[in-house]
A and B are shown apart, each in its own frame.
Chain A
Amino acid sequence: MRNWKFAMASTILGSALILGACGGTDTGTETEETGSGTAGEEATVEGSVIGDGSSTVAPILEGLVEEYAGAQPDVQVTVGVSGTGGGFEKFVAGETDFSNASRPIEEEEIAALEEAGIEYTEFLLAYDGLSVVVNQENDFVDNLTVDQLKQLWVEDGTTKMWSDIDPEWPEEEIVFYAPGTASGTYDYFNEVILEEEDIVSSATLSEDDNTLVQGIQGDPNAIGFFGYAYYIANQDTLKLVPIDGIEPNDETIESGEYAPLSRPLFVYAKNSSISENDAMYDFMQYTIENSGEMAQAVGYVALNEEDYESGLADLEALKE
């Protein structure tokens, strides 16, 4: 009997500890938050905004949400990273107010949204340049044309050698690394380079771009592609391949000269959320105004001032 009571007591004590630990931290932060939230010079709004979507766009949103929490502490913004396609799925189900995308919305998704009765507006946030890279020891690939890229990446049933692409290149098997099929990065590459043909079957596909980076660093015959930010973070250990003689950099990506691999990053916002939810409107306004700066900070390329202004005008029109 005594032992049973003791067991009960320790269970209760245990849960009380967990509860206590949790409650304690909780109250601590609340006071903290009210303390820092007094500096609001604009009108304060309340509410919650829910977003999801591309993990490529996520770093921009993370910065924005972080700064926005300082400006409007009563607005609760959450953003998930289910990927572009996964984000649209939730957007169609009406679970989110906005959806991040690293490619334009697809026909099927437009149809699904129409069926669900959800009207949306597309806002362009920044540009990313899909970067094609090879191992640093690779001293023969100094340029690739779009046709060569397609020849490289499309599955044709043969084992691909570098010499197949250019007879002057060594007769060694090429090792491919590409982003996973659920990512917007893959979708975009699929659209502009593969043109809906199958990707080479020997390619290692990974949702985690760091896996691709490590794979390419480790194999002299490797080639791969991923977002510009991942190249920038690893530029000392990877070799960038210019496409049609043009390297991706801030100017060539923004001007669209780095074609066709400079891709737009979008936020698709639900119209009814903008018109009915003050917090959503305010957050979107903040997003468009600050995404250029934030994009550059995390390794993407900002748009022209005019593009952001036209985005703001679109937003304004929806509010009324």
Chain B
Amino acid sequence: MCLLGLRDTGVGKSSIVCRFVQDHFDHNISPTIGASFMTKTVPCGNELHKFLIWDTAGQERFHSLAPMYYRGSAAAVIVYDITKQDSFYTLKKWVKELKEHGPENIVMAIAGNKCDLSDIREVPLKDAKEYAESIGAIVVETSAKNAINIEELFQGISRQIPPLDPHENGNSGGIKVGQPPMQASRRCC
């Protein structure tokens, strides 16, 4: 399954991914250089969900995200910074973009990161919850730094992802070329 991360630059999306995948937090993780995919498997009921996380590699910075990021994604995590009201406005723009251009049944999750800094909070949790409800999204406040709610975020997504239907969409048989040895596969999700 695919997951796509969107964020306003600097809200800590990479840190979330890093915490989730490697249970590790780096204070100086600055820009998302070199990262393109990360994977992690999460048990969910009887199934194992393999998250394939696409980092947006900074292309979102000037609102120039390529549509290829949406292709076949099952879920999107949109991260804002609870200490920056602006990042919450930007988040709404991303939601709109996703609704307009993304896959129709994409699961959306809103993550208010840096909840360890709630003394300088600008975005009330209530606002986020109301907004999330209005768009049918999962909402959670996280701290990549203190490992708060990161697992919960991904488990929440995992629960909402519909089971794979191999007959759906004629979605099968895409060829991957290159290393490792070529193999045909279903597009994620």
| A and B associate in one complex | no
Residue positions of B touching A, CB distance < 8 A = none
